Chain A
Amino acid sequence: MSSHYNLMNSMQKEQFEPYKKELKFAVVAVLTSILLVGFSYSSNGNTFEYYEKLNGQRSGLKVEVDGLVEARDLLADIGTQFENIKVQGFYGDEDRLSWVEVLKVVSDRLKLPNLKYSISPQEKILKISDNSVPGFFLSQSIMSIEADLLHEGDMLDISEALSMQPGLFRLQGCELNKGESSSVYKNKKNMTLKCSLAWHTVEYNPDEIVEEEVIDLGTETEM
Chain B
Amino acid sequence: MTAKMHTLYLSDQYLAFSDVVKGGLDLKFSLSLDEPDAALKFKAFLNDDSFGLFNVFTDVMGTETRQENIPHVTGKDRELLLDRKGKSIFPAADFIWKEHIKREKTARRDDVFLLIGITLPPVIKNILDILQASESKVVGVYSVPVLQQVLFKELPCFSRSLVISRVLGGGNEAKSFRQSFYRDGKLVISRVNNVTGMDAGKSEYDQLFDEVERTYQFLKSAKQVDVGSALKVVSLLTKKESELLFNHKPHYDIDFSYANFNQLAQKLGLRLSKPCSSLPEILANIVVLKQLKPNFTPTDLCKAYRIDRVKKAVMLSSVLTLFSAVIISSWLWYEKGLTQDDIYSLETNISNIEERRELLAKDTPETELPPKVMKQSIDLFDAIESRGHKPEKVLSLISRAYKGYHDLDIRNIVWEEESEKIEGRNEEASFFDELNAPKKIIITIRTDQALNTRHVLQRINDFSESLLSQPEIKKVEQEKSTIDIRSTAKLEKTFGRGETLKKAPELTLVITL
> In the complex, what residues of B have CB within 8 A of residue A19's CB?
307, 310-311, 314
Say whether A72 contacts B364, CB under 8 Å: yes
Q: Is B3 interfacial (CB-CB < 8 Å)?
A: no
Determine whether the beta carbon of B431 is less than 8 Å from that of A217. yes
Closest to B319 in A: A29
Q: Is B375 part of the contact surface with A, judged by Cβ < 8 Å?
A: yes
| Cβ-defined contact, A90 with B339, below 8 A | no
B364-389 vs A, CB cutoff 8 Å, 1 = contact: the mask equals 11010111111111101100110111
The answer to the question of A163 belonging to the interface, with a C-beta cut-off of 8 Å to chain B, is yes
- When distances are taken between beta carbons in the complex, the residues of chain A under 8 Å from B227 are none
**CB within 8 A of B412: which of A25, A90, A176?**
A176
Q: How far does the Cβ of A46 sit from chain B's closest Cβ, in whole Å? A: 9
Determine if A61 and B354 form an interchain contact, defined as CB atoms under 8 angstroms apart: yes
B392 and A22 within 8 A (CB)? no
Chain A: residues with Cβ within 8 Å of the partner, total of: 82
Mark B325-348 against chain A: 1 for CB-CB distance below 8 A, else 0. Answer: 110110011011001101100110
- Chain B residue numbers with a CB within 8 Å of A172 are 416-417
Q: Would A204 and B423 count as touching, CB distance under 8 A?
A: no
| Complex-state Cα separation, A71 to B377, whole angstroms | 14
Q: What residue in chain B is nearest A140 (Cβ atoms)?
A: B431
Chain B residues whose C-beta falls within 8 Å of the C-beta of A75 in the assembled complex: 364-365, 367, 371, 374
Contact flag A159-B318 (CB < 8 Å), given A44-B332, A70-B371: no
Q: Which of A36, A50, A61, A218 contacts B329 (CB 8 A)?
A: A36
Nearest CB of B to A111, in Å: 19
Asked if A22 and B315 make an inter-chain contact with CB atoms under 8 angstroms apart, the answer reads: yes
* Chain A contacts for B372, CB-based, 8 A: 70-71, 74, 133
Q: What residues on B are CB-neighbors of A138 within 8 Å?
A: 380, 431
List, in ascending order, chain A residues with CB within 8 A of B339's CB: 44, 47-48, 51
Known: A47-B340, A68-B361. A173 touches B350 (CB 8 A): no
Say yes or no for B410: interface residue by CB 8 A criterion: yes
Q: How distant is the Cα of A152 from the Cα of B317 in the complex, in angstroms?
A: 104
Pick the residue among B340, B346, B388, B432 that contacts A171 (CB under 8 A). Answer: B388
**Which residues of A have CB within 8 Å of B356?**
65
Given A48-B339, A69-B360, A218-B425, A163 and B390 touching (CB < 8 A)? yes
Residue B267 is within 8 A (CB to CB) of chain A in the complex:
no
Given contacts A19-B307, A152-B395, contact A30 B360 (CB under 8 A): no
Q: Give Cα distance in the complex from A195 to B307, angstroms.
A: 107
Q: Are B434 and A47 in contact (CB under 8 A)?
A: no
**Chain B's nearest CB lies how many Å from the CB of A184?**
17
Is there a chain B Cβ closer than 8 Å to A95's Cβ?
no
CA A36 to CA B357, docked complex, whole Å = 43
Q: Say if the beta carbon of B487 comes within 8 Å of chain A.
A: no
A58 within 8 A of B: yes
Residues in B whose Cβ lies below 8 Å from that of A136: 373, 376-377
In angstroms, Cα B310 to Cα A26, docked, is: 12
Q: Contacting chain B: which of A2-10, A98-106, A121-129?
A: A121-129
Whether B259 sits at the interface, judged by CB under 8 Å, is: no
A216:B364 contact, CB within 8 angstroms: no
Taking the nearest CB of chain A, how far is it from the CB of B307, in angstroms? 5
- Least distance between A116 CB and chain B CB atoms (Å): 17
* A130 interfacial contact with B, CB 8 Å: yes
Interface residues as binary, A42-58 with B (CB distance below 8 Å gives 1, 0 otherwise): 01100110110011011
Could you tell me the distance between the alpha carbons of A100 and B342 in the complex, rounded to whole angstroms? Answer: 67
A118 within 8 A of B: no
B482 in contact (CB, < 8 A): no
Checking B333, B346, B369, B392 against A54 with a beta-carbon cut-off of 8 angstroms, the contacting residue is B346
Name the residue among A44, A152, A159 with the largest chain B CB count within 10 angstroms: A44
Beta-carbon contact of A33 and B376 below 8 Å: no
Is B324 in contact with A33, judged by CB distance below 8 angstroms? yes
Chain A CB within 10 Å, residue with most, of B324, B371, B392: B371
**Provided the pairs A19-B307, A129-B430, A156-B395 are in contact, do residues A217 and B425 lie with their beta carbons within 8 angstroms?**
yes
B-side contacts of A58, CB under 8 Å: 346, 349-350, 353
User: Is B369's CB under 8 angstroms from A78's CB?
Assistant: no
A90-B381 contact in complex given A40-B328, A47-B340, C-beta closer than 8 Å: yes
Q: How far is the CB of A13 from chain B (nearest CB, A)?
A: 15
Bound CA–CA A7/B319 (angstroms): 34
Minimum CB–CB distance from A21 to chain B (whole Å) comes to 8
| Contact partner, B311, options A22, A36, A55, A173, Cβ 8 Å | A22
Interface status of A155 (Cβ within 8 A of chain B): yes
A190 to chain B, nearest CB (A): 12
Chain B contacts of A90 at CB under 8 A? 377, 381
How long is the Cα–Cα vector from A48 to B341 in the complex, in angstroms? 11
Q: List 10 A-B contacts (CB under 8 A).
A: A47-B336, A47-B340, A71-B372, A74-B371, A168-B388, A174-B415, A175-B414, A202-B377, A217-B434, A218-B425
Query: What 3 A-B pairs are tightest by C-beta distance, nearest first?
Result: A33-B325, A173-B416, A29-B318
Beyond contacts A68-B360, A71-B367, A174-B415: 19 other A-B pairs, Cβ-Cβ < 8 A, are A25-B315, A26-B315, A26-B318, A26-B321, A41-B332, A54-B343, A61-B353, A71-B372, A75-B371, A77-B375, A128-B376, A128-B430, A155-B391, A168-B388, A171-B391, A178-B412, A195-B391, A217-B431, A218-B425
A residues with a Cβ closer than 8 A to B are 18-19, 22-23, 25-26, 28-30, 32-34, 36-37, 39-41, 43-44, 47-48, 50-51, 54-55, 57-58, 61-62, 64-65, 68-72, 74-75, 77-78, 81-82, 85, 88, 90-91, 125, 127-130, 132-133, 135-136, 138, 152, 155-156, 158-160, 163, 168-178, 195, 200, 202, 204, 216-218, 221
Interface residues of B (CB under 8 A from A): 307, 310-311, 314-315, 317-319, 321-322, 324-326, 328-329, 332-333, 335-336, 339-340, 342-343, 346-347, 349-350, 353-354, 356-357, 360-361, 363-365, 367, 369-378, 380-381, 384-385, 387-392, 394-395, 410-417, 422-423, 425, 428-432, 434-435
